[in-house]
Amino acid sequence: MAQRVDPTFMKSLEKFGVKDWKDCFHCGNCTASCPLTEEDYQFPRMVIRQAQMGLKDKLKSNLDLWMCYFCGDCTKTCPREANPCEIMRSIRRFQISAYDWTGLSKKFFTSTTWELSFIIGIGVIVLALFALFLPPSPELWTNPALFLNEQGGVMINNMVESISGPQFVKIIEYGDWTMAVVVGGLLISNILNMFYLTLLKDKSLHIPFTAYFTEFWKLIFHFSTQDKLRKCDDKSYWVGHVLLMTGYTIMFVIIVGLLPKFQIEEIVPWYNWQRLLGYYATIGILVFLIPVVIGRFKKKKCKLKHSHPTDWHFIIMLGLTAISGILVHIFRITGMPIATYISYVLHLAILVPMIMIEVPFSKWSHLAYRPFAIYFAALKKAGVEKEKVEPTPAFA
Amino acid sequence: MNKKDLIGIFFNHPGNGQISNINYDELKSYVSSFNFVKKVWDSDDSPLLDRSLMVSEIQKIGITRLVIVGHDTGMVKAFFNSVFKYMGLPVEDVLLADFREHGALERNDTELAKAILVCAIYNVPFEIAAKPGTSDVCADTLVIGGGISGIQASLEIADANQKVFLVEKTGTIGGHMAMFDKTFPTLDCAACILTPKMVEVGQHENIELMTYSEVQDVSGEPGNYKVKILKKARRVDISTCIGCGTCSEKCPSKAFSEFDAGTTLRKAIYIPFPQAVPNKYLIDAESCRHVQGKKCGVCVKVCPVPGCIDLDQKDEVVEITVGNIIIATGFKVFDPKRAEQFGYGKHPNVLTSLEFERLINAAGPTGGNITYRTKDKKGNWVFTTGGDVPDTVAIIHCIGSRDENYNAYCSKVCCMYSLKLAHLVKEKLPDAKVYEHYIDMRAFGKGYEEFYERIKKEGIKIIRGRTAIVESTNGKLIIKSEDVEKGKLLEKKVEMVILAVGLEPTDDAASIAKMCGIDVDGAGWMKEVNYVSDPVNTLSGGVAIAGLCQGPKDIPDSVAQASAAASRVLQNILKGKVSKGISSLTFSDIEKRARELSTIKYD
């Protein structure tokens, strides 16, 4: 495939966060010092080379970038202080925007205004929907005691006039399902696009049909364990990240699949599954998030030194979601109906835009792209091995 | 024409990509103090020059003279010439004050820039207004440092029948070159070139050699420097020592040999190496049992010359008067322990290039056999003459050079000496595999590229891509690197790793430079007047620099510069006068002189 050298391409990458792209003099130090680089996937130098030459298509189809889990070893010893890991991370942002066929992702990464206005816009829509269709009962103010159950907790599902408890939960559940379908659909379509860009587009590649099944375990394994992160990073970061991942996965399963059993009027004892899982998810998110926020402020760790606006948006929204969720819980069990209603609505007004924007378009999409990249890379390898074709020649 | 002269000043900033730390704002505030400066333009404000606009502006104010000041002033001179011609003014009144001409730009010296500007304003040539005074010269010369540069400079001056004091910090002259086995690209024996010169220095009637001495203080003025020299206690009388070596044989305490780069041990009373000049013993205070307060004195007892060894000798300070000083303090090699990833100090068979120079030298620890370090009975890692021979050797370039974490500059010689070492390994061990891992191959001199081509044909694997990590498993070293040209990840087992360490200024370079009143640059190398046109003289009158203290260079360049420094000194001696150096002038001196000499009457 003939490709044009485009030296202006790096300039366009600058908005994704690439800063020191001119400095690299290709000594190979980064590739050799990386604990994750392998014979088949070589980075960061090769990626930087492709970026410097402006080989856009090559970068779009490059799966190696996702094999990097940002430990910072390359940056520590880089003789040019070119910060290869940051370049890798920025090019991953470019890739996310390339996988997204709607073009919104690129807007979000390159313009803070775009992302913020979408986040706020969706939040306002959520608020408006509540105001129009699920407004608080006026009696919340006049007679709050009406909304308390015999245990003294707030009856969270009965705060809207003329809508019964089961009905309220159903409405929220339908809302959750809609969101899940939209987000899932977008994400899946983006993954399919990634599949097209990285594998299908390469006509020389013939992947054996069986490989799709034999390699599938890799997808599940790496999604659930993040094994590569364990190999590359200090263990505490990996533990935190797994806690975070399991935490939000549990929360997602609960609110999409088990909402009628989760969002109940009765205040159950703390050892019941609803509360235990909720606590686990909250702790998982906060345990990871708090050190990351501190680290991003301190700017000592290589990994947290440079923060793109999208990093902050994600962190802030995830943090606010967790905090508002905690507040709902506290207000509910302490019997404060008005506060419960407000915090509940706010919780959704933060949570919905976060999932709608971050999962298919922005930083959070790495939850899918990382394991899929490993899966696709395995497929590619199987295809190459079958054809007995040498891997694409490197750029020296 | 009795009309008063009015002046306009155009500030021209450096163009794209050129960096200047000269404070233009300070210059602007300086010129604004003159009432005859009527207009100041700035190239940053008006990057596109419009002639008709400029003409009308100049006519309105009535400017009769114009100074273009800054960087690349010649680039805009044509424009102002045309403006002046159009207005019927003489183009001679368009004056230039270029910061490049007198080195203000290179040194980022705003004071100097101001002086250049004021000379242009008064239309007095800078060389005339800023002419440093001269003083009479004492014919004796001090050379600091006894490496190849110091030796060469001393011999040049001494051969012209002038007196030279050669001060050397260690017990012998010779410096780093004496430690090398071969020189590139001719593969001449380094000692064969150097030792005759060393002997000549030792025997020369015009050279007073002061080894094991350090310059402590320099005072006085150009042409008449008073220099205090600390003669460290050698504890052996040079004049009576016959160099028999009995003392060393019996001496009970040992230390690492500096000359062998720490690969062998020497005694506390020792001679640095067999060809040392002076070929006399000395006592290392740090390892001598007697000096450290323990009971000893064996050397005194066995010495055949009575009174030759004086264990309680004290340091002594002598003062000499010299007219000129040549600084040739040389370099030290980069300490690779600072770059942990290469495993130096952790794995015994990771060597510096200097250690390997000694290992491969016929007078080295193994008599020139290349063996790798093995554990002896006491558990120390040592080279032994009959030891195991490595079958794979890797040479890693750019250790501590071209690396923002340590030294950003290129040390210039490492590529070439690495190729030389590779050749020497191949010469002694034809079956060994030799790998060179480089970033860029810099074969920059006469015959160097040809040498590189020759080495390539000798079966040495020269790989583009610096090694990132040196690890060890089961006693074997593993080096990880990327072959950048092939895009392949390499992980190789090798038995010996040679780190091509870069060069750094010596620890005392900064203090010696300060004593002599010259500057060092950011890396610590001494500053010359102008790297291109006057690489030998310094801003202090009568002080010249030679060799590595100025910056990394190879032996031929060092020798050439040493000869050049000697010629500068001889120039001063023959004239009998020495320039006091531009650093003896202050800005107000230059300003005053320019005003006096000026034919323009502004006020």
**In this predicted model, what pLDDT tens digit does every residue of B6-30 receive, in sequence order?**
888 998 888 766 777 888 888 888 8
**Residue linked to tokens 């070929």:** B279
Whether the bond into B185 is cis, omega within 30 of 0: yes
Q: At B319, which amino acid appears?
A: E
Please tell me the distance from the alpha carbon of residue B119 to that of residue B598, in angstroms, as a whole number: 9
Q: What is the 3-state secondary structure (H, E, C) of B204-273?
A: CCCEEEECCEEEEEEEEECCEEEEEEEECCCCECCCCCCCCCHHHHHCCCEEECCCCCCCCEEECEECCC
User: Interface pTM (ipTM) of the complex?
Assistant: 0.82
Contacts of B397 (CB under 8 A, 6+ apart): B414, B415, B418, B436, B437, B438, B439, B466, B500
Q: B468 and A31 in contact by Cβ < 8 A?
A: yes
Write down how long chain A is.
Answer: 396
Partners of residue A25 in chain B, C-beta under 8 Å: 402, 439-440
Candidates B403, B484, B490; nearest CB to A79: B403
Contact with chain A for residue B338, Cβ under 8 A: no
Q: How far apart are CA B400 and CA B203, in angstroms?
A: 39
DSSP string, A173-188: HHHHHHHHHHHHHHHH
Q: What is the pLDDT of residues A147-170, one digit of tens each?
A: 888 888 888 888 888 888 889 999
Residue B555 and residue B177 in contact, taking contact as beta carbons nearer than 8 Å: yes
Q: Compute how many other C-beta atoms are within 10 angstroms of the C-beta atom of residue A162.
A: 6
Q: Which of B238-242, B473-477, B500-504 has the lowest mean pLDDT?
A: B473-477
Please write the tens of the pLDDT for every residue from A20-38.
Answer: 778 899 999 999 999 888 8
**Record: contact B341-A25, CB cut-off 8 A:** no
* A–B interface: beta-carbon pairs under 8 A: 75
A-chain residue closest to B468, CA distance = A29
Cα-based distances in Å from A291 to A285, A304, B2: 11, 10, 78
What are B168's two structure tokens? 């050397």
| Residue B499 confidence (pLDDT) above 50 | yes
Looking at per-residue confidence, does B183 or B59 come out higher?
B183
How close A394 gets to chain B, by Cα (Å)?
5
CA–CA separation, A341 vs A324, rounded Å? 11
Q: Which residues of A touch B402 (CB under 8 A)?
A: 25, 79
* Residues B388-441: tens digit of each pLDDT: 899 999 999 999 999 999 999 999 999 999 999 999 999 999 999 999 999 999
Integer angstrom CA distances of residue B90 from B47, B81, B93:
25, 9, 6
CA dist., res. B540 & res. B584, Å (int): 8
* Averaged pLDDT of chain B: 91
Q: Identify which of B403, B404, B465 has the shortest CB distance to residue A28.
A: B465
Q: Is the dihedral of CA A23, A28, A29, A30 positive or negative?
A: positive
Check residue B309 and report its DSSP letter.
B
User: How confident is residue B133, by pLDDT bands cut at 50, 70 and 90?
Assistant: confident
Helix (H) / strand (E) element for B12: namely: strand B7-12
φ and ψ at residue B415, rounded to 5 degrees? -60, -45
Task: Please give chain A's pLDDT, 396 residues, in tens.
Answer: 567 888 888 888 888 988 777 889 999 999 999 988 887 778 899 999 999 888 988 899 999 999 998 888 899 999 998 999 999 999 999 999 999 999 999 999 999 999 999 999 999 999 999 999 999 888 888 888 888 888 888 888 888 888 888 899 999 999 999 999 999 999 999 999 999 999 998 888 888 889 999 999 999 999 999 888 888 877 888 999 999 999 999 988 988 888 888 888 888 888 888 889 999 999 999 999 999 999 999 988 888 888 899 999 999 999 999 999 999 999 998 988 899 999 999 999 999 999 999 999 999 999 999 999 999 999 988 887 766 545 555 554
Using the beta-carbon criterion (under 8 Å), do B465 and A32 form an inter-chain contact?
yes
- In one-letter notation, the amino acid at residue B413 is V
Contact B418, B521 (CB under 8 A): no
Residues of chain A positioned with their CB less than 8 A from the CB of B339: 77
Hey, are the CB atoms on B489 and A26 less than 8 Å from each other?
no
pLDDT for position A396:
47
pLDDT at residue number B1? 40
Using a pLDDT cut of 70, give the percent of chain B over it: 99
Positive or negative torsion for Cα A163, A169, A175, A177:
negative
Is there a contact between B404 and A78 if contact means CB atoms under 8 Å apart?
Answer: yes
**pLDDT at B537 (0 to 100):** 92
Q: Is the distance from CB of B365 to CB of B264 less than 8 angstroms?
A: yes
When pLDDT is cut at 50, 70 and 90, the band that residue B603 belongs to is low
**B502, B414 in Cβ contact below 8 A?**
yes
Residue A295: Cβ within 10 Å count: 16
- The DSSP output letter for A196 is I
Of B341, B439, B464, the CB nearest to A33: B341
* Nearest residue, CB atoms, B482 vs list A31, A38, A395: A31
Helix ranges, B160-208 (H)? 190-203
Decide if A36 touches B, using CB distance below 8 A.
no
Each residue of B137-147: b (16+ CB within 10 Å) or e? bbbbbbbbbbb
Q: What is the pLDDT of residues B535-561, one digit of tens each?
A: 999 988 899 999 999 999 999 999 999
Indicate whether B282 pLDDT > 90: yes
**Phi–psi pair at A66, nearest 5 degrees:** -80, -10
Contact A26 B484 (CB under 8 A): yes
Any idea how long chain B is? 603
DSSP assignment of A324-385, as one string? HHHHHHHHHHHT-HHHHHHHHHHHHHHHHHIIIIIHHHSGGGHHHHHHHHHHHHHHHHHHHH
| B55, B78, B236, B433 from B64: Cα distances, Å | 12, 17, 76, 75
- A111 near A308, Cβ under 8 Å? no
pLDDT at residue B256 greater than cutoff 90 = yes
Asked whether the predicted pLDDT for residue B444 surpasses 80, the reply is yes
Q: Distance of alpha carbon A32 from its chain centroid, rounded?
A: 29
Q: Are A45 and A84 in contact (CB under 8 A)?
A: yes
Q: Which residue has the tokens 């986040």?
A: A119
Instruction: Summarize pLDDT for B308-348 with one digit per residue, the tens.
Output: 999 999 999 999 999 999 999 999 999 999 999 999 999 99
The two structure tokens encoding residue B392: 């794979």
Token pair of B106 as six digits: 């290179």
Alpha-carbon dihedral of residues B303, B305, B307, B311, nearest 10 degrees? -30
B402 and A79: CB-CB below 8 Å?
yes
- To the nearest whole Å, the CA of A30 is away from the closest chain B CA by 7
Burial degree of B48 (CB within 10 A; 0-12, 13-18, 19+): exposed
Q: Where are the domains of chain A?
A: 9-18+26-99, 104-378
CA separation for the pair B579, B569 (Å, rounded)? 11
Taking the CA atoms of A70, A75, A77 and A79 in sequence, report the sign of the dihedral they define.
positive
Give SS3 for B384: coil
- CA dist., res. B67 & res. B71, Å (int): 12
- Segment B566-578, tens digit of pLDDT: 999 999 999 999 9
Encoded tokens for A391? 């891997």
A26 lies within 8 A of chain B by CB:
yes
Burial letters A198-211, b for 16+ CB under 10 A, else e: bbeebeebebeeeb
Encoded tokens for B581: 């150096």
pLDDT in tens, B186-209: 999 999 999 999 999 999 999 999
Give, in order, the Cα–Cα distances in Å from B443 to each of B413, B449, B452, B460, B558: 9, 5, 7, 16, 17
Average pLDDT over residues B370-387: 88
Paired tokens of B411:
């040390």
